[in-house]
Amino acid sequence: MQSKSRILSIQNLIIQFKLRGQVLTAIRDISLDLYKGESLAIVGESGSGKSVLVKSIIGLLEKNGSVAQGRILYKEDDLTKFETEKDWLKIRGKEIAMVTQDPMTSLNPLKTIGKQIEECVVLHQKLKGKEAYQRTLQLLKDVGIHDVEKRYKQYPHEFSGGMRQRIVIAIAIACNPKILICDEPTTALDVTIQAQILQLLKNLQQKYGLTTIYITHDLGVVAKVADRIAVMYAGDIIEVGQTHEVFFNGKHPYTWALLSSLPQLGAKGEELYSIKGTPPNLFKEIKGDAFAPRNPYALKIDFEERPPFFKVSETHFAKTWLLHPNAPKVELPQNLQAFFEEGRRFAHEY
């Protein structure tokens, strides 16, 4: 991944919200590079800061939120310096587009879906008349919709949830973005449709050379589509690596906890290493490793000092004191150990 060129660079980002006279720090000094053409999944439980992080990239932070520190570099701009809606319109949709969980919020119920896609084609691809119409039909085909002439003339309510998600994806693609953010794109859909939409996004990524960011709380969902995974906890990225590295050689105990909730591990019938307790209060200053109070492997230093990123490989980093050369060796739960071994064998054969 390192040889690829960087398309977006988040550097030392801190984002805070003001709420009833108090300050909540939602993003706590995050740095993350995104590489051209890759598919990155940002994974973490509810409240870990996934949405806030991507909203800051696309200029959709709520009014009470602001960047307290850091830079977001995209092309020649630092996006944290953008102040007006006019600034963001240079980027949003056109360069960086977003597909959200609920397609109905992004579709106009009073306009045919064909017109809605075509408007973007006209605006962003500079096509007119018959050409714009043909391009719209092609986009509908690209997102797996059949009978496109008839479908062009229909309204959002005439489509199922999965089909509406395909239309939202077609609109996003029609704007020719370089980066596509998918925020829990399949959460509202049933399992079979979920798999189809993920496969569609993967195909479109290749066809259009997109760079994709997936946000999800479910590691299982992204295993098949992501090249890299960034694991978030309490406003920080605590582990990042290629998908197989995080999946089969995860290093942070929070990553282990997330992996333990995968059905593949549960199926073995052994007791799971479950995450007890709750995430920290982001209104308060966090000392040490934010996961320490919930971490059965926590060391004394975890409660005192925030761990830096320790390098596991050229592409794999984790913020856990367990990677310090002087840290004691820990014994993983049996089922997780077996999962890692099986996975590494598979990755090797693969």
Ligand X SMILES: Nc1ncnc2c1ncn2[C@@H]1O[C@H](COP(=O)(O)OP(=O)(O)OP(=O)(O)O)[C@@H](O)[C@H]1O
Binding site for ligand X (CB under 6 A): 17, 19, 24, 26, 44, 46-52, 62, 64-65, 217, 282
Beta bridge partners of 96: 92, 179
C-beta closer to ligand X: residue 5 or 46:
46
H or E segment to which residue 254 belongs: helix 253-260
Q: How far is the CB of 278 from ligand X (least distance, A)?
A: 11
Are 118 and 112 within 8 A, CB to CB? no
Nearest to 71 by CA among 155, 145, 12: 12
Residue 93 CA to residue 179 CA, distance in Å, equals: 9
Residues with Cβ within 8 Å of 317's Cβ and at least 6 positions away in sequence, in order, are 239, 240, 241, 309, 310, 311
CB of 17 to ligand X, least distance (A): 4
* Residue with Cβ nearer ligand X (66 or 315): 66
Whole-number minimum distance, CB 102 to ligand X, in Å? 12
How does strand 96-99 pair with strand 179-183? parallel
Classify 176 in phi/psi space as left (phi over 0), alpha (psi -120 to 50) or beta: left
* Pick 52 or 246: Cβ nearer ligand X: 52
Q: Is the Cβ of residue 19 or residue 330 nearer to ligand X in the bound state?
A: 19
| CB nearer to ligand X: pick between 36 and 217 | 217
Residue type, 209: G
Q: How far is the CB of 134 from ligand X (least distance, A)?
A: 38
> Minimum Å distance from CB 301 to ligand X?
26
